[in-house]
Amino acid sequence: MLINNKSIAIIGGGPAGLTLARLLQLKNADVKVYERDFNEHARVQGSPLDMHEDSGLAALRKAGLLEEFKKTFRPGADKTLIMNEQAKILFSDHEAKPEEDFGAEHFRPEIDRGPLRKMLLQSLKPETVVWNSHFISMEPQNEGWLLHFKNGTSMYADIVIASDGANSKIRPYLTDNQPVYSGIIMLEGNVTKENAPNINTLINGGKIMAFGNSKNILMGQKGNGDLGFYASFKADETWAIDSGLNFSDNTMILQWFKTKYPEWDKIWYELFENALPPFIPRPIYFMPLDQPWKTMSNSTLIGDAAHVMPPFAGEGANMAMLDALELSEHLTDHTYNTLKEAISKYELKMHKRAAKAIKESFENGERMHSDTALSTMLDFFNGHILS
């Protein structure tokens, strides 16, 4: 096996990095994950993830974790309401949703990021993850790399795999490619169910997607009952600075919402009035579709480090975990003569499917922020139910 007697460093302990570590350890590889979080108890941010049969779930199945996932996922969390700006429900699958059916084409079970991370961490050998390891730089040494971290430590690895997200510090060692702004801002907020009782009654453990006047509110309920929500709209890339908003001031953000979303019903106000500050403005980026780079024999990229994509097709985490699955298979494939050949085959395959997912996600984002967003999304969801 090409990675026999090779030390592998994975930079970043998100779903992709931890999945890759698990898959490689099943092949008896020497793997360390270097994660910037201080420890495993650091708060995991972000909305729940929906796992897709041919990507995220395929990786978990190969990792021997599907049965554990079935104990951990949130049944019913994929229930969806489509609403207009007046909070009128125009589509609901709460009653028509089929039984939880792993293997079904449109079944996308949801899991909170925290439980997913815990499940993956528990599957790894002790001390696989080196916490408080904020990557700073690396330099060639022998046939591998000497890694330097903010805490003052340095470690050698024969192979370095970047799983350090959209702002990857390892990407520049492989390519000059940079993410491109999509034109969309998502203003993230979180509120407890007690402080948003009207919305909590509507969402009923699932998701809400509301469309009106080329703007959205998108939200999902987390395992602890909190509501994670996003006000999503078209704006300049520098909106967060140019707006002059204090994102820790709920009164100011509520007034902004009333101004930016003037046609929207007052029911939405409780989200902004009672959110747990601060709000987080998230400009949405994507990688250019033509993004191959010159393959290296001792380093590659997975997940957002390789292919940042908008979140409007639910493919980001799934593509990242599929990267982990495919890279693990290529690195342990006996038919390749060199590591460079194995990595090259992975990258070619990854670029092709990532470009397709990025295109789909970008086009969905355009549809969801168009004048016809509501009718388009209703047609899409009604088509899924009819099929």
Which residues are annotated as part of the binding site? 43, 50, 113, 304
CA distance 245 to 241: 8
CA distance 372 to 368: 8
CA distance 56 to 50: 8
CA distance 135 to 163: 11
The 8-class DSSP code of residue 225 comes to S
| Token pair for 55 | 């990507």
CA distance 94 to 22: 35
| Token pair for 180 | 């491109």
Annotated binding site for FAD: 50, 113, 304
- Greatest CA span in the chain, whole angstroms? 64
The 8-class DSSP code of residue 57 comes to H
Annotated binding site for NADPH: 43
Residue 373 CB burial class (10 angstroms; 0-12, 13-18, ≥19) = buried
CA distance 5 to 308: 32
